[in-house]
Amino acid sequence: MPIGLEDKAAIVAEVNETATRALSAVMADYRGVSVDNMTALRQQAREAGVHVRVIRNTLAKRAFQGTEFECLNEALLGPNILAFSLEDPGAGARVFKDFAKENDSFEIKALSIGGKMLPPEQIDVLAKLPTRDQALSILMSVMQAPITKLARTLNDVPGCVVRVLAAVRDQKQQDGQ
């Protein structure tokens, strides 16, 4: 049954709104993947905060207009499934990468982050991006390192003085015996 014009407009508006909020997108060819596996993929994506959508290529091109994912238009060939990462830029890449390991027929076609299209070989780069919590902990450890080093250095000064005084005391005790 064909999709009506109002339904097409609603799909385009929904995908455009999602693409506007998304941090990254991953596109894959899902031909040959069973319905049960696709359901499992959608569930994993929901748990990771990733919006997954199957959309016709012509509607996707319209939905991408005015977003940083217009670069994906040239990769829109054949049936595609899109993963939009809304909270963590690497979440969609991690979900699709893990799913592709288990399903040989699932082929990652392209990815986009920051308005640039990356080839599918770069999936590891996007998948290895730290989550927000990991990035904050890395930042905090970098900010804390100089303070910790200063505290250790300042703590070493009295320790050095005590060791020198103990050595002088030991020397005097040896000379006095």
141: enclosing H helix or E strand: helix 132-176
d(CA 126, CA 115) in angstroms, rounded, equals 14
Q: What is the pLDDT of residues 76-88, one digit of tens each?
A: 888 888 988 888 8
pLDDT tens, 86-134? 888 888 888 888 888 888 888 888 888 887 887 778 777 767 777 777 7
125 Cβ contact partners less than 8 Å away, ≥ 6 residues apart = 118
Joined tokens for residue 101: 């390991």
Domain boundaries, the chain: 5-129, 130-177
5-129 — its CATH code? Answer: 3.30.70.1730
The model's pTM is 0.69
